Structure 1
Amino acid sequence: MSVAMLQVFNRYLFPGGEEKSVDRIYNHLSSAHEMSRCFFESAEWRREGAPGPAGQMKRLFYNTDARVRFESALDMSGAQAALFHNIYPVGSPALYHAAKKRGVPVIQYLHNFRPFSVGGTLFVNGRVCPDGLYGQDRAEVLAGAWQGSVVKSLLLALMLKLLRRSGWLQSVKAWIAISDFMRDRIVQAGLVEPEKIHTLRHSWDALSTAPRTEDAGYYLFLGRLVPEKGLSVLLDAWDRLRDQLGDKTPMLHIAGEGPQEPLVHQRMRTNHYIGFLGQIGGETKSEALRRCRALIAPSVWWEPLGLVAYEAYDYAKPVLAARSGGLAETVQHMQTGLLHEPGDAESLARDVVTMEATPHPVRVESGTRGRQWLLSETNVTTWRARFEEILATL
C-alpha cells in the first residue's frame, strides 16, 4: 500500500556520504510511495541575514521557524508519516514536538550515533568513547566534538539531554539502524526498546554489469582524511611493509581530502611506496577502483556500516578492513576480504602480506564473492521489502 511520506533532512555544512544516502533512499522509495521533502541547510546560518549567535543558540533548542516550515510541508504533502534523518542544527527538536502534537508517526534513520552522541561518532581524542550512549557527554564536550567548539558542544549536549527528557521522541515509532552493530549498542544502552529499532543496511545502485577489471598491484584508500578513518594506522602499516619487503613493497594510493592531508605528504617524503591522488570522482575514481588489487578500510571508530566496501564490491575487489562496527558485517573474513584489529598497524601489514601471497585467481574469486553479496543483499527490491516490513510496524 502506498504511503505519503515526508522526508526531513538538515544538510550538513560540508556534504558527505549521508547526503548521498538520503537521496538514494528518496529515489528508491519514490517508485512505491508518495514522497515529499522538507530540507534545511546548515549554511542558512552562514548567509547574510542569518540569526546572530544568540538567535542561533535559541533556535538550536527550539526553532519555531523550522516548525512552521515542517508543518506547512506536512499540510501541502498530506504526509501520513515523516522520515527523519539528521535535523540539526536548523531543524531542531521543534520538529519532534510538532510531529507528536499532530500525531504524525516518525521513522528516525540513524546514519550515526546522534541523538545519543554530541559529535555523532563516539570518537574522542583518537579513541572510541561510548560514554555518550550512557548519558555521559563530558569527554565529547571537552574535545569540542561538534564543530570543533567546546561551547557549541556544551549547548548541543544540553539540548540533546532536554530532548530525551521532553517526551517528544515518543513521536518516533520506528528507529532504523544501518547495521546490527549499531542497533545492538543502542539497545544495550537501554536507549530504545528492542522492538522499535530495526536494522536496514543501505541499498546500492550497483553497476548493471560487472566491469572489466585488472590488477595493477596497488592498494587503494578512499575516504576522508580524518583520524577516525585510521589514516595513521594505514601509514604506519606501510612503513612496516617497506621495512619488511623492501623493493617488493606494493604501492598505496590514498584518495580523499581532509585535515590529515599534511600527514600524508609528510609520510610520502620518507616512504616512496605511498602516493596521493587527492579528491577523486567520476571516471578517475572508477579507474582507480577498476585497477586496484584491493581496497583498504582501516577505520578505528565504530563505523556505522562502511559503504566503502560497497564501492569495492561493485568493482569486484576484495577489502582489507578493520573489525570495526558495521565493517565486520559488510566484509566477510577470508571470503570477501580480510579483517584486522582496529588500530593495529602490524595486523593490517600482515593482511597485506597475506593478500600479496594469495594467488591471483583466489583474489579474483574473493572480489567476485563480494559483488555477489552486493547484488543479493543491497539490491533495491530486497531493501524496499525490508523497509515495508518496518513501515508496517507504525
Structure 2
Amino acid sequence: MNQIRVMIIHNFYQQPGGEDQVFRAEQAMLQEAGVEVIEHIAHNDELAQMGPLELAQVTLWNSEAYRQVRSLVATHKPHVVHVHNTFPLLSPAIYHAIKAEGVPIVQTLHNYRLLCLNATLQREGQECVLCVGKSIPWPGVLHSCYRNRAASSVLASMLVMHRLLRTWTDKIDRFIVLTDYENSVFVKGGLDSQKIRLKPNFVHPDPGAGDGQGGYALFVGRLSPEKGVDVLLEAWKGLDIPLKIAGDGPLGSVVAQAAQSMPQVEWLGRRPRQEIFELMQKAAFLVFPSVTYEGFPMTLAEAFATGLPVIGSNYGSMPQVIKENQNGLLFEVRNPADLAQKVQWLASQPHTLAEMRRQARREFETRYSAKQNLQMLLDIYKEAAGAGWPVQAP
C-alpha cells in the first residue's frame, strides 16, 4: 500500500486540555495504522517572552510561521495537512502557506473561536450569540470578551482580516465538527455546510471498563465557573453520597474550602491521566454540570470507555452525547436542586445503574473507539485530497 503522509499542526495551550489530548491521540492512532505523520507545533508558553505589540502582530499574521510551515510542506509533500489550533502563535497565515504548496487542508473545530472571541458562546456565565453571523464581532470587543478590550480588539481584527482574505472559505477543504449541534452553529455562522464533516472525539488506547464498586460520584475537569463548579458544590450540600473532585483551576480555593466543610467531598487536585482512568473505573457515575457550550469533552468519551454513566446538564450538545436513561441522565442547567435529585435517584437504583454502565461501554465501542475513528478520519482526508490521495490507500 502506498504510505499516506499527513502533516498535523497544533498550537498547544498553557494549561493542558482536551484539544491537546485529541491531537496526541490522533497522532498515535495514525502512526499505529502505518501513516507517516509529520508534526509541527507551537506552545503558548512562548507568550511570556512577547510584548503586546509583537503578540498582536503574530496573532494577525505570523510571517515566520508562514515560512516554517511552507518549507515543511514543500520538503515532506504531505497528502493532506490537518490543523487543530492556530491561535495565537501560528496564526491563520499558515493556511495560506499550505495552500501556496497546493496541499489540501482539514481543520478540526474544537471550539467556537471562529464565531466568538472567547470561543465558548458565553458571556458572564450566560449564553451569548451576539457575534454569530456578524462580519465584524464588535459586541465581543465592546464587552471585552477575550481578556480585555485591547486583546479583544486584536482577536476581532484577526477574524475580520481573514474573513476578508477568505481564509476560512477558500483555504480550508474540510472542517471537522464534534457534534451535530456544533454543525448547526457553524452553518449559522457562515461556514459552508458541504465542507463540514462530523467526527466525534475518541479514546486511545482503550482503558477498559471498570466495576464501579467505589461507591462515589466523580467530577473531572478544570475548576472554573463555566464548568459548573458552583452548581456541583451547591447540589452536594444536601447529599451524603461521597464525591471526588479531580482537577485544578481558578476555583481551586473554593473547592478546598468546600472539602473542609463537607466531609462527603474530597478534592484530589490535578491527577495524571492514568489515575483519572482508575478513578473512573471505580466510580459509580460521573457528574458533568457544565454551563457552557461544550464541543465534545474528552471527559465524556473517557467515561464511556470505562463504562461510567454521566449525569450532565441539558445544555448545548450534551443531550446529543448523554442519552437520557441509557448512558446517563440530564438535569436542568444551572439547577443544583435538579442535579441533587438526579444524583440521589440514580444512586438508589443499582440495577438501572448497572444497565447504564453496560450501555455507556457499548456507546464507546460503537462510536468512540480508535477503530471507528480511524476510518472516519481517513475518509475525511481522502475527500479533502481528492485525486491527490494515494490510489491504494484505505
Q: TM-score, normalised by structure 1?
A: 0.90
Q: CA deviation at 1:273?
A: 2.6
Would you say 1:389 and 2:390 are equivalent positions? no
Aligned-partner residue type, residue 28 of structure 1? M
Would you say 1:234 and 2:232 are equivalent positions? yes
Aligned-partner residue type, residue 288 of structure 2? A
The answer to which of 13-22 and 285-294 deviates more is 285-294
Tell me what 1:18 maps to.
19
Are residues 271 and 140 of structure 1, via their aligned partners in 2, closer, same or farther at CA, if it must alter by over 3 Å?
Answer: farther
Would you say 1:180 and 2:180 are equivalent positions? yes
Partner of residue 264 from structure 2, selected from 273, 279, 292: 273
The answer to which of 124-133 and 60-69 deviates more is 124-133
Q: CA deviation at 1:143?
A: 5.0
SS at match of 1:79: coil
CA distance in structure 2 between the partners assigned to 1:348 and 1:225 by the alignment: 18
Aligned-partner residue type, residue 62 of structure 2? N
Contact kept? 1:233, 1:345, Cα under 8 Å: yes
Q: CA deviation at 1:381?
A: 2.3
Contact kept? 1:206, 1:314, Cα under 8 Å: no
Partner of residue 319 from structure 1, selected from 310, 315, 332: 310
Aligned-partner residue type, residue 67 of structure 1? Y
Give aligned pairs, total: 380
CA distance in structure 2 between the partners assigned to 1:138 and 1:232 by the alignment: 30
Deviations 1:190-242 (A, max 9, x none): x211111111001222536433x242322110000011111111111112x24
Q: CA deviation at 1:312?
A: 1.8
Q: CA deviation at 1:371?
A: 0.6
- Structure 1: tracts of 5 or more residues without a match: 243-248
Are residues 206 and 346 of structure 1, via their aligned partners in 2, closer, same or farther at CA, if it must alter by over 3 Å?
Answer: farther
The answer to which of 335-344 and 261-270 deviates more is 261-270
CA RMSD, aligned part only? 2.0
Indicate the percent of aligned positions where both proteins have the same amino acid: 26
Contact kept? 2:207, 2:277, Cα under 8 Å: no
Contact kept? 1:104, 1:171, Cα under 8 Å: no
Tell me what 1:88 maps to.
87
Tell me what 2:387 maps to.
none
Contact kept? 1:125, 1:143, Cα under 8 Å: no
CA distance in structure 2 between the partners assigned to 1:106 and 1:32 by the alignment: 20
CA distance in structure 1 between the partners assigned to 2:284 and 2:245 by the alignment: 14
The answer to which of 295-304 and 306-315 deviates more is 306-315
After the TM superposition, list the runs of 4 or more consecutive aligned residues in structure 1 that deviate by more than 6 angstroms: none
Deviations 1:317-367 (A, max 9, x none): 211011223322222110111011211212211111211221x23212211
SS at match of 1:131: coil
Contact kept? 2:310, 2:327, Cα under 8 Å: yes
Deviations 1:34-57 (A, max 9, x none): 32112122222324xxx5332222
Tell me what 1:164 maps to.
163
Are residues 128 and 154 of structure 1, via their aligned partners in 2, closer, same or farther at CA, if it must alter by over 3 Å?
Answer: same
Q: TM-score, normalised by structure 2?
A: 0.90
Q: CA deviation at 1:293?
A: 1.4
CA distance in structure 1 between the partners assigned to 2:212 and 2:93 by the alignment: 52
Tell me what 2:43 maps to.
41
Contact kept? 2:73, 2:98, Cα under 8 Å: no
